[in-house]
Amino acid sequence: MTHRTTYPGPPVELPLRLDADPPPGAGCDVCDALDRERIEAQGKGDMSKVSDINIEIRSHPHKGRRS
């Protein structure tokens, strides 16, 4: 009996990212709320949520600054 490969090739290995979490925007209410949410997610071990929040902090335009 021959062994038949049922996948197209070897798995793709992605690098482990060790970047620091992005800092919240100075004086940005949205970033402050996201940072608190990120700390809570880290405490629960929910690194998927931490990653999602990091993306959101990096990509939002820092509107809603305090006066």
Whether residue 1 is contained in a domain is answered as no
Whole-structure pTM value: 0.66
Q: Does 15 map to a domain?
A: no
61 φ, ψ (degrees, to nearest 5): -80, 10
Number of helical H runs and strand E runs in the chain:
2, 0
Closest CA to 33 of 62, 10, 7, 12: 62
Residue 8: inside a domain, yes or no? no
For residue 53, give its domain range: 22-67
Q: Tally the domains of the chain.
A: 1
Mean pLDDT by 10 residues, the chain (67 residues): 77 82 91 96 95 93 57
Residue 14 located in a structural domain: no
